[in-house]
Structure 1
Amino acid sequence: MIIGYARTSSLDQRAGLEAQVSELKALGCDEVFIEQVSSVKDRAKLEEAIKFARKGDVFVVTKLDRLARSVPHMWSIVQLLEEKGVGIRIVNMGIDTTTSTGKLMLNVLGGVAQFEREMMLERQRIGIAYAQEKGKFKGRVPTARRQSDDVMRLKGEGKSVQQIMATLKISRASVYRVIQEQTAQLA
């Protein structure tokens, strides 16, 4: 069986999703799992597709970035599918792990991607250190701390932590952190 997986990050990418689904169906996918969710969130349909796959099946995606958010994430998916005896086909890269050449190409390209990621992070660290030396890099200003007056005002109005979170669009931990810091300053 050929299993397709199509994903876009947001609901407004309808055309991109339809193009993926059309391509997967044209490639002969018997079953296509579709979802519109950011790669950093839980992807229930991806998990469902992996569970659905059986030995001898081929798992198809149009592009690697539709499948995995990072090289380590890609390898974890590849390992899950390989343990089940499922091949992987990445259409735009011409990779098909049901062949020896496809397995080699996936390993080579995965290694190159990992190397490039590490080099980019190293360049970023060097750039940040240089900017800090010159006093030009201060880091990101924490979002919740900029809203600490609003957090305390809403708390004073009797709003619950849940209501403060929803109103200011900050996390529960951030609300508690601001309250704790503000309370400590008053003590």
Structure 2
Amino acid sequence: MKTAITVLLVFITSFALAQTEHEPTEMDPYGTKNPKAPKQLDDFKPMIGICDCDSQRKNPDGSWAAPVQMTWKFKYIMNGMAIQDETLKADGRHSGSIRQFHKDSLKWYVHYYTSASPTPTLGSWEGSKTADGKIVLYKPQKAPNGMDGFSRLTFYDITETGYKWIGEWVDPKETMSFPFWKISCTKREE
């Protein structure tokens, strides 16, 4: 009887640890990629950790506002099967995303939330990594004048030491582009 209980406890403990072995810990604060995860999680691998960034939004008159300092932290979640990011901005506007890659559609699905406007339904973008190394995500969005188009978010100049990001409104053929937000980041910690 003692042997059966011991075996059961070892099995339960092993099962529980297997469900969380890739989660962030004190030893590995950003978690690790699960070997069963889609290989595309590596698209965001250079971003895992903390970056110091400058965030700039467009003013209503079309000029760029002064940069706001922020930190942008990326980590593995869901036992290493997805990625979560979090921004902490000096102006008190914080945000984050949950990033999941769908193997069947070969697309990233990114769900965004912000402290500036809590909502019962999260905005979501979808996209993929391009041949030139950019990660480009889209969400249908009308222009202020009612014209159809997309919110396009692009990570680019991605290296082990940092990356850049730009948010733009684009028309359906992507012949017109109106940037509304840009961020430049330098890696602080992996």
* TM-score range for the pair, normalised by the shorter chain length: under 0.3
Q: What TM-score comes out, normalization by structure 1 length?
A: 0.25
User: Per residue, is there more helix in 1 or in 2?
Assistant: 1
Q: Which has the higher strand share?
A: 2
